[in-house]
Amino acid sequence: MYGAAVAYSGLVEKQIFEMPGPFRTAGGGVVERVRVGFEVLGELDAARSNAILIPHPNVASSHVAGRYGPQDALPGYWDAIVGPGCPLDTDRYCLIGVDALCNPKAADGVTVTTGPSSIDPATGRPYGMRFPTICVRDLVEVQRAVLAHLGVTQLHAVIGASFGGMQTYEWAVAYPTSVARIVPVISTPWVGAYVLAKLRELRAAIALDPNWNGGDYYGGAQPVEGLTMALRLLYVAAVLTPEGAEASYARRWADPQRDPADSFDNEYAVCAWLDALARDRAQVVDANNFLYTQRANELFAVGGASTLKDGMRSITAKALVIAARGDEILPPSFARAAYDALVEQGNDATFFEIAGSMGHLDGVLSIAQAGEAIAAFLAR
């Protein structure tokens, strides 16, 4: 079906939306000025009924596909399924991505977000940890304001991976009459103890860095070591599987001439790879924004309900639930529990599992495996 599909080749423009007045969070905090970036691929039809919202994963942005310019080395994270004739067909659908509040990639020079690293109009200094705590519903409300700005009131679908999948579930609960279909990928509607424990370690690593200084590090030394450690922990949980790590690295040394038995400074290849990956990403991530995003993950229980089934009860949308077989941070059992709850309450729901050796990240890198299922689901 997709032999003639063409990946999205057009240049992508980062647009900016500013809310017309102060934004009140679900917890009662007030942010005087909210600005977020958004990207649009494809065009709205005359009825404005072909919009697909794509909330992004944890340490990503609205850049779902395409490039910003000829010199841009990297495409968007789901480039494999976006473009004319692709599952997310830009000749058929209008794809809309929005940079989340407190986006961790606030320092990459492209992402536009409001969060702890933003200037507080009341003080003229970055908010730091004085920024109000946010939750997934707050991200949904900002996205809804962007959609209203574009004249979109009904969504053909919401599709998001990981943290984006949590937003997908919340959209279906918050605005059931506005969302016809949902495709949560490598996600969960309910963050329980297993995930809470892992996320807390990410926050703890940053807080242990003396340069973090309680979040007041702007204008001084950045908490790079703590942030790098947090990102390493995230990648160990989200990217590595026992099989994948063994196949790619085994017990090879990072440097063939430097035996780890000779010095604590000598590393194994897998550790050197993780360190390089984390240090590279730390250059574009703001530590406080990262903390706030992880906290929003921790706080997530769909619909704010006390049980998963209660939280799912108001979802009326058709659902395609996608899991990754080797996922060790949001295991397939989480997605299966959500699917079972949907089926039990009478929703039209389908389950698909991606195979691979990159764990949680297979929901991004191997998403093409689910391409046929996504295309068929969106066309129903």
Which residue type, as a one-letter code, is found at position 278?
A
- Name the catalytic one among 89, 360, 362, 366: 360
265 is catalytic: no
Q: For residues 288 and 100, give the distance between their C-alpha atoms in angstroms, rounded to a whole number.
A: 14
- Name the catalytic one among 89, 99, 138, 327: 327
Output the six-digit token pair for 377: 């689901």
Output the six-digit token pair for 31: 């942010």
Surface-to-core class of residue 29, CB atoms within 10 Å of its CB (0-12 exposed, 13-18 middle, 19+ buried): middle
- Name the catalytic one among 61, 162, 357, 366: 162
Strands 181-185 and 94-98, sheet pairing: unpaired
Q: Residues 6 or more apart from 24 whose CB is under 8 A from it? A: 30
The residue length of the chain stands at 380
Q: For residues 7 and 304, give the distance between their C-alpha atoms in angstroms, rounded to a whole number.
A: 38
Residue among 293, 274, 275 at smallest CA distance from 285: 293
Using the 8-state DSSP alphabet, how is residue 204 labeled? H
99 is catalytic: no
Residue 319: strand pairing partners: 182, 349
Q: Residues 6 or more apart from 196 whose CB is under 8 A from it? A: 298
360 is catalytic: yes
b/e per residue 57-74 (b: at least 16 CB within 10 A): bbbbbbbbbbbbeeeeee
How would DSSP label each residue in 314-373?
T--SEEEEEEETT-SSS-HHHHHHHHHHHHHTT--EEEEEE--SSGGGHHHHTGGGGHHH
Residue among 287, 293, 289, 292 at smallest CA distance from 225: 287
Conformation bin of residue 269: beta by default, left when phi > 0, alpha when psi is -120 to 50: alpha
Which residue type, as a one-letter code, is found at position 10?
G
Residues catalogued as catalytic: 162, 327, 360
